[in-house]
Amino acid sequence: MSFTIGLLVVTFFASLGGLGLFIWSMSNGLFGPESAASRVIFGAKEIGLAEEPAAASVAGQNALQETMNRTGHTGEFSVLTAEEANERLIQDASGKWPVLLCIGFAVAWLVMASVFGLVASIKLHVPDWLTGQAWLSFGRIRPAHLNSVAYGWCSLAAFGVALWLMPRLLRTPLVGAKTAAAGAVLWGLGVSSGIIAVLAGQSTGLEWLEFPWQCDVPMVIGGTMMGVALLRTLRNRAVEHLYVSVWYIAAGLIWLPILITVANWPGVHRGVSQAAMNWWYGHNVLGLWFTPIGLAAIYYFIPKVLGKPIHSYNLSLVGFWTLAFFYSQVGGHHLIGGPVPGWIISLSIVQSVMMIVPVTAVAINQHRTSWGHLGALRDSPTLRFIVLGGMMYTLASVQGSIESLRVVNTVTHFTHYTVAHAHLGLYGFFSMVMFGSIYFMLPRVLDWEWPSHRLISLHFWLVMIGFATYFIGLSIGGWLQGLAMLDASKPFIESVVITKPYLLVRTLGGSLMTLGHLVFALHVGLMLTRRGAVKRGPTLLRTRSYTPGSAGLALGGSGA
Amino acid sequence: MSREAQVDLTRLIAGALAIVTFSIVALVVMPYFLTRTTTRPAKPAPYTTAQQAGRAVYIANGCIYCHSQQPRDPSVAPDQQRGWGRPSVPADYVHDEPHLLGTMRTGPDLFNIAVRQPSRDWHLGHLYQPRAYMAQSIMPAYPFFFEERTGPAQAGEVVVKLPPGAAPAGVRIVAKAEAIALVDYLLSLDHTYPVRTGRNAGAAP
């Protein structure tokens, strides 16, 4: 025991020292004048103006602006000039095709993934359902679900958001939109072939890495093409400062190909060291790919919709580096109690707990920025999804830190509790943030308003209630399962029986989520085919101004 | 392009690469060298061709999503008391590519299933219909590993012996090659031989 504690302490101080050294060497300029960098996402005098293309008509955007005025954040005279509106219009439209391809594929995969997930969930409490064909068996549908979520829905949505955000953040049109569009198609083809391979029984057997390498090739090429377009845009930038979202997106784009390459390197991974690699990858694809993109979106959209810079720009950069440093080493906590050297586990536990640092940085920034303006959630669909997604990021991360502690992990390891936790991260946090981002982006990209605000509300409530049901039910079930498994006096089957009602609750929640996704997919479909009455309100970027004391926004002509 | 933004970008790329390299060294390269030096033990024996084929069936059908293969130390969990075997060590996995350690125990650990259930008949029947053996089981049935036959028996066919009422009347259930191979693999899962233990052998303290 004392050896374990000694190991933990040494690991703790070594990593703390390492991080201190790292931040010190990176900190030159980090604590410079921060207001300039946090204002880079606004026009010269735009602060104080709300922007929400998904608002319900002009009245909706006015209501949002009034909410912001009432909560009194600036009192400045705020204006978006014709020139600025024009530039932003060009930036928003510059990535039209790659963005639409990414989001279109992503939403299609979301629906597929939901169906796979629901089938897998039902099979766990109706085990004799659909057992006739191999491709429909649980052991194939379940990895099909995970991979279509991770590489179909989440990754393509992430690319779509990155391709749309970067031109705005760098104030320059996307360079190489055609290359990026071709990349999106290649990625989509890779994912499709990978899912077919998994269903056909060609899985590699490694969790998160199930696709045969032949299917990874088009994904890597496609991802690189999108990455190259973004990096070329970065080189072409017209801004003085790199906003924190740029840091997250650019780093994510650098990390993803490294992760995939190392994980798929032929001929070196086997046995226990492969298990260590497997969880290094499995956790880093979350920490160094989805999380950075999700946080980039949070750091952009919350201040943008509210018309208010983030609370502390420097804190956001400290959060960035600590996230990268700690998160990249947490994977080993999936092997607690397993046949791996103790120091790997200790290192991972220490870093998992240290994740509290970046998470607190994000939480302070997010909540201090949106606090006091929660009324704006009523008027802005984007904020509704993103603020809740941000809250679930905090929850998921704190839960993850606690879960890595041996005393908790002993109960939760190998149980459905972990599954619920994974969904809090990738669904509660990441998917919610992507929903919000898509509601903001598509009206600008398509120059068309969302046909129905009822459908947006329906989507929101279905997935929120569905997810709450899913998460709470499965967490309780998983915890009871873990306790039963630890009790040697109970036969193993009792740990199975105890979960059955909760597995049913999971199916219930999952059904509501799937229904919500169908509503969302239908709405995106209506949007892409430009259904609905012509409404040209908040969708259009136009010169706008707000004078303190006036009733609402003064809208000029279209910026186009 | 401002100089400040240029410095930011350089710092970003250098820092991102430094951090990911650090994590690769800690969690990929070091485990590789540390577990590679484990001398190849006399046991476990390498998989036979039939066992290897069964292992492929295990992988293709995602058994890993419900079954782990890593009994834990008695100080962590009562795995040994459940009959799942001694804590596993890196040397036990020396022939495993890909590794099948698993992350879920929706079903029991299988690292020593051959010891607990040495009967081929039991395994074949259990794969055909788990609930014929354990009424409350939620394991899927695998009818596609079997075919129903009538008429005269053919040479070499493996007829599954099922509990009464588990199969349709008037047919016999014959195991396909996948089922036979999978059971061959499951019956190879016996890691009860003694191993050198201690921290360096890898059992987490």
Three-state SS string over A438-458 comes to HHHHHHHHHCCCCCCHHHHHH
Rounded to the nearest angstrom, the minimum Cα separation between B151 and chain A is: 23
Q: Are A171 and A307 in contact (CB under 8 A)?
A: no
Rounded to the nearest angstrom, the minimum Cα separation between B120 and chain A is: 22
Q: What is the average per-residue pLDDT within A268-291? A: 93
Q: Are A452 and A56 in contact (CB under 8 A)?
A: no
Judge whether A202 is closer than 8 Å to chain B, CB to CB: yes
Q: What is the DSSP string of A168-182?
A: HHHTSPPS-HHHHHH
Cis-peptide, bond into residue B118, ω within 30° of zero? no
Identify which of A69, A76, A74, A48 has the alpha carbon closest to the alpha carbon of residue A375: A69
Cα separation of A366 and A400, whole Å?
Answer: 19
pLDDT at A32 over 60: no
Neighboring chain B residues of A345 at a CB cutoff of 8 Å: 204
Q: Which residue has the higher pLDDT, B31 or A219?
A: A219
Binned at pLDDT 50, 70 and 90, residue A299 comes out as very high
Q: Are A214 and A226 in contact (CB under 8 A)?
A: no
Of A139, A207, A334, the CB nearest to B63: A139
pLDDT at A547 over 70: no
Q: Are B67 and B107 in contact (CB under 8 A)?
A: yes
Q: What is the average per-residue pLDDT within A193-215? A: 96
Give Cα separations from A337 to A332, A341, A392, A422, B3 (angstroms).
10, 10, 28, 20, 50
pLDDT at B204 over 50: no
Q: What is the DSSP letter of A136?
A: G
Cα separation of A547 and B96, whole Å?
Answer: 70
Judge whether A3 is closer than 8 Å to chain B, CB to CB: yes
Neighboring chain A residues of B11 at a CB cutoff of 8 Å: 26
Average pLDDT, chain A: 90
Binned at pLDDT 50, 70 and 90, residue A543 comes out as low
Of B5, B89, B138, the CB nearest to A240: B5
Binned at pLDDT 50, 70 and 90, residue A373 comes out as confident
Instruction: For residue A383, report the phi and psi dihedrals to the nearest 5 degrees.
Output: -65, -40
Cα separation of B47 and B120, whole Å?
Answer: 18
Neighboring chain A residues of B98 at a CB cutoff of 8 Å: 204-206, 269-270, 274
Q: How confident is the model at residue A204, as a pLDDT?
A: 96
Neighboring chain A residues of B9 at a CB cutoff of 8 Å: 234, 242, 250
Residue in A256, A273, A354, A419 to test binding to B, most B beta-carbons within 10 Å: A273
Binned at pLDDT 50, 70 and 90, residue B203 comes out as very low
Q: How confident is the model at residue A28, as a pLDDT?
A: 60
Q: HSE of A11 in the Cβ direction (CA atoms, 13 Å)?
A: 23
Q: How confident is the model at residue A371, as a pLDDT?
A: 83
CB contact under 8 A, A239 and B78: no
CB contact under 8 A, B137 and A493: yes
* Strands B172-175 vs A78-80: parallel, antiparallel or unpaired: unpaired
Q: How confident is the model at residue A27, as a pLDDT?
A: 62
Q: Are A556 and A542 in contact (CB under 8 A)?
A: yes
Judge whether A123 is closer than 8 Å to chain B, CB to CB: yes
pLDDT at A57 over 80: no
Which range scores top for mean pLDDT: A4-8, A428-432, B6-10? A428-432
**Span A320-360, pLDDT tens digits:** 988 988 888 888 888 888 888 888 888 889 889 989 989 99
Cβ within 8 Å of B, A 37-96: none
Binned at pLDDT 50, 70 and 90, residue A59 comes out as confident
Q: What is the DSSP string of A229-271?
A: HHHHHHHT---SS--HHHHHHHHHHHHHHHHHHHHH-TTT--H
Q: How confident is the model at residue A187, as a pLDDT?
A: 97
Neighboring chain A residues of B64 at a CB cutoff of 8 Å: 139, 205, 207
Cα separation of A270 and A476, whole Å?
Answer: 35
Judge whether A240 is closer than 8 Å to chain B, CB to CB: yes
CB contact under 8 A, B73 and A337: yes
- CATH code given to domain A44-79+312-540: 1.20.210.10
Q: What is the average per-residue pLDDT within A476-499? A: 97
Structure tokens at A265: 């390197």
Portion of chain B with pLDDT greater than 70, in percent: 91
- What number of residues does chain A have? 560
Compute the Cα dihedral for A195, A200, A206, A207 and give only its sign: positive
Of A139, A275, A325, the CB nearest to B101: A275
Domain boundaries, chain A: 44-79+312-540
**Span A101-154, pLDDT tens digits:** 999 999 999 999 999 999 999 999 999 999 999 999 999 999 999 999 999 999
Q: Are A117 and A510 in contact (CB under 8 A)?
A: yes
Dihedral angle, C-alpha A152, A155, A158, A162, nearest 10 °: -110
Neighboring chain A residues of B136 at a CB cutoff of 8 Å: 493, 496-497
Spell out the SS3 assignment of chain B. Answer: CCHHHHHHHHHHHHHHHHHHHHHHHHHHHHHHHHHHCCCCCCCCCCCCHHHHHHHHHHHHCCHHHCCCCCCCCCCCCCCCCCCCCCCCCHHHHCCCCCCCCCCECCCCCCCCHHHHCCCHHHHHHHHHCHHHCCCCCCCCCCHHHEEEECCCCCCCCCECCCCCCCCCCCCEEEECHHHHHHHHHHCCCCCCCCCCCCHHHCCCC
pLDDT at B38 over 80: no
Q: Residue A109: what residue type? A: W
**A486-490, A500-504, A534-538, B107-111: the lowest-pLDDT one:** A534-538
Neighboring chain B residues of A492 at a CB cutoff of 8 Å: 82, 108
Q: How confident is the model at residue A7, as a pLDDT?
A: 73
Of A280, A496, A503, the CB nearest to B23: A280
CB contact under 8 A, B26 and A347: yes
Neighboring chain A residues of B199 at a CB cutoff of 8 Å: 3, 341-342
Cis-peptide, bond into residue A548, ω within 30° of zero? no
Identify which of A319, A423, A305, A404 has the alpha carbon closest to the alpha carbon of residue A365: A319
